[in-house]
Amino acid sequence: MSETEINRRVGTGPAAGDGNAGANAIEVRDLHKRFGRQQVLDGVTLDFPAGKITTIVGPSGSGKTVLLKHLNLLMRPDSGTIAIDRIEVTRLGAGGLDAVREKFGMLFQAGALFDSMSIFDNVAFPLVEKTRLSTREIEERVHETLKAVGLEGMEAKFPSQMSGGMQKRAALARALVRRPKILMLDEPTTGLDPSRTGAIHELIRRTQENFHLTAVMVSHDVPAVFQVSDRVAFLHNGRTHLNGTVAEVMAADDDVFKRFLAGKASGEENETALAG
């Protein structure tokens, strides 16, 4: 199967370029990004259906985190477009970008909790800074959100007093407290032991269902992460190599993806990994 055929959608369902814009929370078209001489994103085209969990996987250096940084508007592409909730964002100014950022929450790889604040203050922070809720309303929302992630009673603790798994939960609570439409997660289980990995995956699924979110996740935790994903996008050499439901992608007869799953790197993948 040629790369062109592989880059087409696999199986049924909303896919890149089929014009079914209403079903997609995020649409990425022909994204390019270069750092110096390294072409990190080389024409990524991808859709993220609303109300689904889409996981981006790929070998190290394939451009996963760079793609996620474009989706959460921390980077601008060299060319290509990104539409979030049908708003084209790549040419927006600072004010426009901030308006779009109100729609999503982000869970960073290490949590990115503010060290000098308690868990309560961390989770309350977006409400205090960006809303006009009263103190009581903020307290109620924070308690409710912490309960949803299983951290009830931990309000007074500081991040340094908590385990890695608990910090991730707190960071997830902060990402959810403003009830975003889109949740982005950067390697949510990295650094956690297998038992906590399963708990975090379960929490992500439960949260996505309870809050009716669109979730975009970057993960190295393959194939465990497929159990919590609705769709998978496999990036290779800065392009969308495979894209579809978990079943479709797993059934695809693709050597590159199989080698990735098996943990064996081809010569091309080794170069990519070293370059990345």
Instruction: Return residues touching another protein (CB under 8 A).
Output: 72-74, 94, 97-99, 101-102, 104, 106, 108-110, 112-115, 125-126, 129-130
Among residues 197, 217, 272, 173, which one has the least CA distance to residue 26? 217
Whichever of 71 and 232 has its CB closer to another protein, that residue is: 71
Nearer to another protein, 93 or 267 (CB): 93
**Burial of 47: CB neighbours in 10 Å, binned 0-12, 13-18, 19+:** buried
Task: Sort residue 116 into left (φ over 0), alpha (ψ -120 to 50) or beta.
Answer: alpha
**Calpha distance 212→121 (Å, rounded):** 25
- Of 126 and 165, nearer to another protein (C-beta) is 126
- For the bound state, the minimum distance from the C-beta of residue 8 to another protein, rounded and expressed in Å, comes to 32
CB of 207 to another protein, least distance (A): 18
Q: How far is the CB of 185 from another protein (least distance, A)?
A: 12
State the nearest-atom distance from the C-beta of 240 to another protein, in Å. 24
3-state secondary structure of 175: helix
E-strand stretches of the chain? 24-35, 38-49, 53-57, 79-84, 87-88, 104-107, 182-186, 214-218, 231-236, 239-245
Amino acid, single-letter form, for residue 270: N
C-beta of 40 vs 232, nearer to another protein: 40
Distance in Å, CB of 184 to another protein, minimum: 8
Residue 101 or 259 having the CB closest to another protein = 101
Which of 267, 260, 276, 275 lies closest to 58 in space, CA to CA?
260
- Give 104 or 260: the residue with its C-beta nearer to another protein: 104
8 Å CB contact between 163 and 119: no
CB of 59 or CB of 105, closer to another protein: 105
Distance separating alpha carbons of residues 91 and 109, to the nearest angstrom: 27
Least spacing, CB of residue 80 vs another protein, in Å: 21
| Smallest distance from another protein to CB 160, Å | 12
Measured from the CB atom, the residue of 27 and 187 that comes closer to another protein is 187
Query: By three-state DSSP, how is residue 51 classified?
Result: coil
Q: Is 227 buried (19+), middle (13-18) or exposed (0-12) by CB count in 10 A?
A: exposed
Please state the length of the chain.
276
CB of 163 to another protein, least distance (A): 17
